[in-house]
Amino acid sequence: MFERYTERARRVIFFARYEASLAGAEAIEPEHLLLGIAREDKPLLAQFLPNGKGSIELIRSRIERHVSDRERIATRNEMPLAPESKRTLHFAHDESYRLSDHHIGTEHLLLGLMREETSGAAQVLAELGLRLDAVREALARDRTLRSIHAAEARRSLDSRGRVRIVLGVENLLHNKIEMLKGARVGLVANQASVDHNFRHVADLFHEHVDINLTALFGPQHGIRGDVQDNMVETSHATDRKTGVPVYSLYSETREPTGDMLRDIDVIVFDLQDVGTRIYTFVYTMANCMRAAKKFGKKVIVCDRPNPIGGTKTEGAVLDPAFASFVGQFPIESAFRHRLRTRMRDDVRLVA
């Protein structure tokens, strides 16, 4: 369904589901899609809202006013699209066709929301001064308003026109490097932490002119996968390739200590998970987040694909009485997440 969507547009869907969960909604409504756009593509909205960023800040309060009388229910694992949202996505496809675009970006989602005229999202946009014909004409007249999205779509396709997965760490290095500039960086990684050219992230960070890599943190089996004895704790060491100190998080401690974090401002977490609860990496992430909160450090979690599909959740839910390092949260044993990867969704369980 989302093959033609740009990376940003897919993130809008993810954030819309998150917003729907926060609201206890039964389905993803157009209002949640609008909140997703406000989270993911503020520059797009600022182009058309009369007061720019000032109007963006009003979107959430206006939406809350429109849905304030809605009954709240408990969050569910499955979050379907409401009929109005399905029509919105259909309209977005149509708007892409109208503009002769080969992708579906956030600009098309915005037009789709405006076409679903009876929704709260369309009413909020109208209250803030957006008019469908004016936005559509501006996008058709000035292709530079869409150039960012078109370029993003081209980057997301391989030479055969198939969607190319952009790894979180690649996005961080190529598009978000300012998040690391001037900071002392600690990296949590293992042998699967590689880019599309199979270069290890520790080496990429160590060689990058804008990254000050001060420490490495090894999960179970180590930074380079060379500590393979199962259930055997490993000691701290120095990475032979980079010369950077390696702190083992499968040692006398499973959580970074204050001494380990003394020379670190930002923890970058980049581990490939396998989509199941009974695995240690996600709990290493949870422990890093707890330590970061305790010692006032920032955490960046890099996303990677879910190898078991990302479409369903299944299996027994953990009884909290049996919590351990292979199960800290009351979640299913197999996490086949719907839109994004295991690590990214599990961040919300810890945060």
H or E element that contains 112: helix 106-115
**Is the predicted pLDDT of residue 216 greater than 50, yes or no?**
yes
CA distance 128 to 119: 15
Q: What is the pLDDT of residue 1?
A: 62
Choose between 315 and 253: higher pLDDT.
Answer: 253
Q: How far is CA 53 from CA 19, 47, 65, 230, 248, in A?
A: 20, 9, 20, 52, 44
Q: Please tell me the predicted confidence (pLDDT) of residue 148.
A: 56
What confidence score (pLDDT) does residue 338 get?
A: 37
Where do the CATH 3.40.50.12170 domains begin and end in the chain? 168-350
Distance CA 164, CA 105 (A): 16
| CA–CA gap between residue 304 and residue 269 (Å, rounded) | 11
| Residue 163 reports pLDDT greater than 90 | no
Residue 33: half-sphere exposure toward Cβ, Cα within 13 Å:
33
Average pLDDT, the chain: 82
Q: What is the pLDDT of residue 74?
A: 46
Region 23-38: what's the mean pLDDT?
Answer: 90
pLDDT of residue 340: 41
Closest Cα partner for 244 from 211, 281, 277?
211
Contact 338, 310 (CB under 8 A): yes
Please tell me the CATH code under which domain 7-155 is placed.
1.10.1780.10
Q: What is the pLDDT of residues 62-103, one digit of tens each?
A: 887 766 545 544 444 467 899 999 999 999 999 998 988 888
Superfamily of domain 168-350: Uncharacterised protein PF07075, DUF1343 (3.40.50.12170)
> What pLDDT score was predicted for residue 212?
96
Edge-to-edge order in the sheet of strand 184-188: 237-238, 245-248, 212-218, 184-188, 266-269, 298-301
Write out the residue limits of the CATH 1.10.1780.10 domain(s) in the chain.
7-155
Given a cut of 60, whether residue 246 has pLDDT beyond it is yes
pLDDT of 8 strictly over 90: no
**How many residues does the structure list for the chain?**
351
- The pLDDT score that the predictor gives to residue 350 is 45
pLDDT tens readout for residues 249-272: 988 899 999 999 999 999 999 998
Q: Which residue has the higher pLDDT, 345 or 80?
A: 80
pLDDT band at 54 (very low <50, low <70, confident <90, very high): low
Query: 186 pLDDT band (50/70/90 cuts)?
Result: very high
- Asked if the model's pLDDT at residue 140 lies above 50, the reply is yes
pLDDT tens digits, one per residue of 219-243? 988 888 877 666 677 888 999 999 9
pLDDT at 53: 60
DSSP string, 249-260: SSSS-SS--TTT
